[in-house]
Structure 1
Amino acid sequence: MRDLLIAGGGPVGLATALYAARAGLDVGVVEPREGAIDKACGEGLMPGAVAALSDLGVALDGPDITGIRYLDGSRLAQAEFRHGAGRGVRRTTLHRAMSAAVLAAGVKTDPRAVREVVDRGDHLLVDGEPTRHLVAADGLHSPVRRMLGLDSPARRHRRYGQRCHAELAPWTSLVEVHWSDAAEAYVTPVGPGRVGVALLSEARGSFTDLLGGFPDLRERLADAPLGPVRGAGPLRQRARRLAAGRVLLVGDAAGYVDALTGEGISLGLAQARAAVAALVAGDPAAYPRAAARIGRRHELLTQSLLAATRHRRVRRHVVPAAAAWPRVFGACVDQLARPA
């Protein structure tokens, strides 16, 4: 009987597999999508995520990210990372690197979806296959979370994301966050001749229409070829519980607040490590408590910033306030950059 089956072969699912293999568990991954999986994300890894992936033996190819810059027209505030650089990595590049590490660790991926989970008390039957535990790392709209009745949809303040790549040399080693009255635009260097542009907003509209709210950025991108646009949302997702017997939820499947602070991968990696530690200790019920501790800082920062910036008058003061109190802004960026 297998020790652990992981539903979902994205970065957090693959990280869970690597932690499990390192711990000596017999682990397998189930993922219906084949090849390098792409999705709408900012593609900027915080220093904590870079350190965690390096510890897992994942080689990352991409430019260093040295900090974060907020812009609002002519006003700007920026802060450098204090404890190492982040990395701009295309999602497909990250997935290939992690897949290679998983393959090298001897973990096999089965190209199928999880259809049924039956609890047999001392083990599970996942589509008829016996396993002691199941980790659901199957994304924002997790089918396993929904299948087990752990879904708790968030109905208010729905936000959506869109991302494309611009064939343009990065003009800074910082992640730029452009603010408008209704949206944020994130610009991340992901290669010598490419930047990723991600837009977050409650408004539904085309990428081109939303980009119109950022005239300075639109002008900079005017002559740059743009790649396909990918979308995601609604971003806010909730789980009633992070564990149901022998099933644990990690990553976006465990619930998601918003991409505003860019900590998604860092948080998911820390959850993966905590989930495997709980299973190795024979105490899966310990995982939700550990996950709550891991996510407390992230949720506080993200929820506070979201709540404050829902009001247009407040949004207009975000960048001026960050510029007026550089030490406070720097401290916030430092908190975001630390390991979850």
Structure 2
Amino acid sequence: MTTVDVDVAVVGAGPIGLAAAIEARLAGLSVVVIEPRSFPIDKACGEGLMPGAVAALARLGVHPEGAAIAGFRYVDATRSAEHRFARASGLGVRRTALHDALAARGDELGIERIDARVTELVQHAEGVTVGDVRASWLFACDGLHSTVRRMVGLERSASGRVDRRRFGLRRHYAIEPWTDLVEVHWVADAEAYVTPLAEGLVGVAVLGRPRTDFDEVLSQLPELSDRLRGSHPVDSLRGAGPLRQRSTARSAGRVLLLGDASGYVDALTGEGIRVGLAHARAAVGAIGGEGARQAAAYDREWSRVSRDFRVITSVLLAAAQSPLRPLIVPAARAMPALFGAAVERLAR
């Protein structure tokens, strides 16, 4: 088989992998994407893009179709709190539609894709060899359960006896969206995210502990159940998790971890895509530098662009997994300025 020599090899063709490949091509670099799954690639997620993610995609020349999102609404059994974005709108986009838009842009730029699974990886002074691909740099964008992260020794095992793992479940319903907000419905041990996606289509994602039952959560949400009554699911239930993943570092030699592969807190604030797009931009910017400090530059920028997401999500997750959980929606309602400031901070 012919050996492929490129500046950047991207492992994983999810949204962040394709975005990283597009970033590299726009910077004038040669790039190849390695992915064994067929397109489009789906994933169980909330499918809401913050305004900052919409702007970041537009900068790459990617304009997916979807439903405008004006803000967030938190709901519990007796009250609600909402905040509408101060400036630009977000976008509800079915994951397969987002993937199609990114793949089409990659095709426009002539990005090569190789149908293969990474089973070995060798680093050397001038780059990385993966199968028949030799690259100056490798971007690991292979998700929550990253094979590359494990191969290069950056996997951090979970510690502690208390099982705080959380998982996501998602299903689409054929029903006209009733709001232009992402609704987050809170029950005792789970949250249900409701996202308008298109005309006649709504996505419902449930986040909760291991063995959370999707239908059981909906049965605890009479307002949402009433809305969905009479509609029908248009696909099967999909799952993902555990959501929390950690790495010991974000780089090892000439391998950089991006997106979920670099570590993930939780999906509570819906910021995974925006942060992953920032990782892609940071990675391409770092390898354009000079000398041995390139990976260190990426590590610093990774920390900077991830900070707000990790801090706000960690605080909210800690409250959600503590006796303070029943106070989250009342606090958001009682302190609208604080609630709005947190949403706006994440919306950038």
What interval of TM-score do these two structures reach, taking the shorter chain for normalisation? over 0.9
Q: Could you tell me how far 1:314 is from its partner in structure 2? A: 1.4
Shift of 1:74: 3.0
What is aligned with 1:212?
219
1:140-166 Cα shifts (integer Å, max 9, x gaps): 100111122211133541001100001
Q: Distance in 2 between matches of 1:147 and 1:218?
A: 44
For 1:233, which of 241, 244, 248 is the aligned residue? 241
Give the partner amino acid of 2:113.
T
1:257 maps to 2:234:
no
Structure 2 stretches lacking a partner, 5+ long: none
Give the letter for the 2:333 counterpart. A
Matched, 1:323 2:327: no
Are the counterparts in 1 of residues 319 and 328 from structure 2 also a CA contact under 8 Å? Answer: no
Structure 1 residue 284 corresponds to structure 2 residue 295: yes
Distance in 2 (CA, whole Å) between partners of 1:108 and 1:43 is 27
Given the two structures, how large is their TM-score scaled by the length of structure 2? Answer: 0.95
Aligned partner of 1:263: which letter?
Answer: E
Residues 1:301 and 2:316 are matched in the alignment: no
Match of 2:88 among 47, 60, 84: 84
The match for 1:44 is 48
Q: What is the RMSD computed on CA atoms of the aligned residues?
A: 1.1
CA contact (8 A) 2:187 2:217 kept: no
| Paired residues, number | 337
Residue 221 of structure 1 deviates from its aligned partner by 1.3
CA displacement 1:33-78 (0-9 Å, x = unmatched): 0110001000000000000001100021011000000011230100
The answer for the alignment partner of 1:337 in structure 2 is 347
Amino acid at match of 1:166: Y
Query: Equivalent residue for 1:270?
Result: 278
**1:316 is paired with a residue of what secondary structure?**
helix
Q: How far apart are residue 266 of structure 1 and its match? A: 0.3
Letter in 2 for 1:149: G
Determine which of 182, 205, 209 is the counterpart of 2:189.
182
Match of 1:167 in 2: 174
Whole-angstrom distance in 2 between the partners of 1:254 and 1:213 = 35
For residues 91-130 of structure 1, the aligned pairs below 5 Å read 91-130=95-134
Aligned to 1:64: 68
**1:67 and 1:81 in contact (8 A); partners too:** yes
Paired with 2:34 and 2:105, the residues of 1 have a C-alpha distance of: 16
String of CA shifts for 1:123-144, please: whole Å, max 9, x gaps.
2211142211100000010011
- Counterpart in the other structure of 2:251: 243
By how many angstroms is 1:118 displaced?
0.6
Paired residues of 1:182 and 1:203 also in contact (CA < 8 A): no
Deviation at 1:197, TM superposition (A): 0.2
1:288 alignment partner AA:
D
Aligned with 1:317: secondary structure?
helix
The secondary structure found in structure 1 opposite 2:324 is helix
Q: CA deviation at 1:258?
A: 0.1
Q: 1:9 aligns with which of 2, 9, 13?
A: 13
In the alignment, the residues of structure 2 paired with residue 46 and residue 306 of structure 1 have an alpha-carbon distance, to the nearest angstrom, of: 19
CA distance in 2, matches of 1:330, 1:6: 37
SS in structure 2 of the partner of residue 83 of structure 1: coil
Give, in whole Å, the separation in 1 of the partners of 2:204 and 2:165. Answer: 20
Counterpart contact for 1:154–1:236, Cα < 8 Å = no
CA deviation vs aligned residue, 1:168-223 (integer Å, no higher than 9, x gap): 11000000000111111000000110100000011413321232232321222122
Q: Scaled by the length of structure 1, what TM-score is found?
A: 0.97
Q: How many angstroms does 1:302 deviate by?
A: 0.5
Tell me, in whole angstroms, the C-alpha distance in 2 between the residues paired with 1:124 and 1:88.
37
**More deviation in 230-239 or 324-333?**
324-333
Where does structure 1 differ by over 3 angstroms across 4 or more consecutive aligned residues?
none
Secondary structure of the residue that 1:79 maps to in structure 2? strand
Find out whether 1:25 has 2:29 as its counterpart. yes
**Residue 280 of structure 1, CA deviation:** 1.1
Instruction: Give the % identical residues.
Output: 51
2: CA distance, partners of 1:320 / 1:209: 24
Residue 11 of structure 1 contacts residue 98 of structure 1 at CA under 8 Å; is this kept in 2? yes
Q: Distance in 1 between matches of 2:153 and 2:42?
A: 27
Bigger mean CA offset, 157-166 vs 324-333? 324-333
Q: Hey, what's the Cα distance between the residues in 1 that align with 2:127 and 2:340?
A: 48
Describe the superposition over 1:261-287 as per-residue Cα deviations: whole angstroms up to 9, x where unpaired.
000000000000000100111312211
CA distance in 1, matches of 2:178, 2:30: 46
Residue 209 (structure 2) aligns with: 202
